[in-house]
């Protein structure tokens, strides 16, 4: 299937590793020019070089902390300066600390807001005007299965990612007349460094092992296994494509059946 992404320009947040890197690589395979951004310069450059070598696509990297002030605007500005525009925006971020309500003070809530809501909001503010002008765009937010079925011990993520879902769902209606789609993609338990961290924290609270924590999650997943990053990236690439031009305002889980709700 030709996704119609050749010549498009994509900006992917938190793309030096994990889900973000897999998404960036998939978009590059489909012929898009890709802008990566992340905080760690060494890992980011390694991801840029490897994706460029494997796909032959133009790949540019910007070191940035998207949770800080004007960083999102700077990243979008550099993407435009490098490739002329941003057609596809994937607002991926890292995850906040796990733990119950009492373990998070006001500073932790502020940091979670800056990471999970302020960062994507800043990216959208900077990239949307150009999309409206060209009357074409794809905005895809990476949230979590927690927005459909809250996950125990993740109160920060459960709360702030739900806010991102509300933002995206409302924005989808406002931008649809301009040929822009806005969708949320909800990763389930996927084999990433973030899930390893969650397994370690879960095991510490339960007095068990990381292996036990992963096995417990796998028992909850109808497919009986963790997801792979490439499986997640495939859906993001489709939603970014010409083929998905009539899909907007949706929240789609990639979770092996973990979410039990009807919708």
Which carries the bigger pLDDT value, residue 207 or residue 107? 107
Which carries the bigger pLDDT value, residue 168 or residue 192? 168
**What is the C-alpha to C-alpha distance for residues 85 and 5, in angstroms, rounded to an integer?**
14
**What is the C-alpha to C-alpha distance for residues 204 and 252, in angstroms, rounded to an integer?**
31
**What is the C-alpha to C-alpha distance for residues 145 and 201, in angstroms, rounded to an integer?**
19
Q: What is the pLDDT of residue 111?
A: 96
Q: Which tens digit of pLDDT belongs to each residue from 125-141?
A: 999 999 999 999 999 99
**What is the C-alpha to C-alpha distance for residues 142 and 19, in angstroms, rounded to an integer?**
9
Please report, to the nearest 10 degrees, the dihedral formed by the alpha carbons of residues 69, 148, 173, 125 taken in order.
Answer: 10
Find the mean pLDDT for residues 3-25: 97
Domains of the chain listed by start with CATH number: 9-188+228-254 (3.40.50.720), 191-226 (no CATH)
Q: Which tens digit of pLDDT belongs to each residue from 78-93?
A: 999 999 999 999 999 9
115: nearest Cα among 40, 76, 79, 64: 64
**What is the C-alpha to C-alpha distance for residues 34 and 249, in angstroms, rounded to an integer?**
24
The angle subtended at Cα 71 by Cα 70 and Cα 74, nearest 5°, is 90
Find the mean pLDDT for residues 244-258: 97
Q: What is the pLDDT of residue 196?
A: 81
Q: Read off the pLDDT band of 27 (50, 70, 90).
A: very high
Largest CA distance in the chain: 55
């Amino acid at each position: 299937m030709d996704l119609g992404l050749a010549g498009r320009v994509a900006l992917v947040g938190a793309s030096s590793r994990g889900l973000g890197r897999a998404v960036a690589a998939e978009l590059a395979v489909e012929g898009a020019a890709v802008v990566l951004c992340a905080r760690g310069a060494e890992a980011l450059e390694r991801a840029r070089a490897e994706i460029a070598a494997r796909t032959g696509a133009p790949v540019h990297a910007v070191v940035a902390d998207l949770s800080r002030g004007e960083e999102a605007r700077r990243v979008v500005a550099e993407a435009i300066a490098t490739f002329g525009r941003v057609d596809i925006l994937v607002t991926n971020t890292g995850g906040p600390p796990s733990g119950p309500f009492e373990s998070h003070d006001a500073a932790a809530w502020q940091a979670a807001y800056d990471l999970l809501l302020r960062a994507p909001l800043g990216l959208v503010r900077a990239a949307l005007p150009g999309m409206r002008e060209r009357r074409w765009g794809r905005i895809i937010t990476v949230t979590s299965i927690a927005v459909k079925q809250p996950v125990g011990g993740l109160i920060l993520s459960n709360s702030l990612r739900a806010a991102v879902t509300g933002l995206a769902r409302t924005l989808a209606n406002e931008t649809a007349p301009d040929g822009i789609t806005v969708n949320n993609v909800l990763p389930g338990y996927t084999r990433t460094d973030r899930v390893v961290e969650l397994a370690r924290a879960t095991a510490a609270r339960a007095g068990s092992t990381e292996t036990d924590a992963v096995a417990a999650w796998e028992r909850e997943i109808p497919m009986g296994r963790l997801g792979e990053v490439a499986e997640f990236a495939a859906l993001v690439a489709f939603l970014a494509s010409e083929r998905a031009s009539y899909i907007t305002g949706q929240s789609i889980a990639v979770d092996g059946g973990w979410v039990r709700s009807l919708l």
